[in-house]
Amino acid sequence: MKRTDAAIKVRTKKGERVNVQAEVSKVAVTTMAIAAGLVGAWVVAAFIGGIMASGGVMQLVSNWITAVFG
């Protein structure tokens, strides 16, 4: 068996440059969107709970007007 020691040149291509600021901005926007969705869901749940506790939409509006204007 003949042994061959050959030098092989390996050329590597430089990878893509990642814009860290753009990636951080995407994460920040996604995080804020998720937080806004959670807050919105909580608001809807609180509103429905208020309607149910007051006895209906008209009672809720009446009670709100009474609370605000006395």
The domain segmentation of the chain, as residue ranges, is 45-70
Q: How far, in Å, CA of 23 to CA of 30, rounded?
A: 11
What does the pLDDT average to over 39-61?
93
* Confidence label for 6 from pLDDT (cuts 50, 70 and 90): low
Residues near 28 by beta carbon (within 8 Å), at least 6 away in sequence: none
Q: Report pTM.
A: 0.58
Average model confidence (pLDDT) across the chain:
87
Contact present, 60 and 51 (Cβ < 8 Å):
yes
Q: How does pLDDT run across 16-48, given as a tens digit for each residue?
A: 777 888 888 999 999 999 999 999 999 999 999
Rounded CA gap, 63 and 50, in Å?
10
Instruction: Supply the pLDDT for residue 17.
Output: 79
Predicted pLDDT of residue 23: 85
Name, in order, each residue with C-beta under 8 angstroms of 66's C-beta and a sequence gap of 6 or more: none
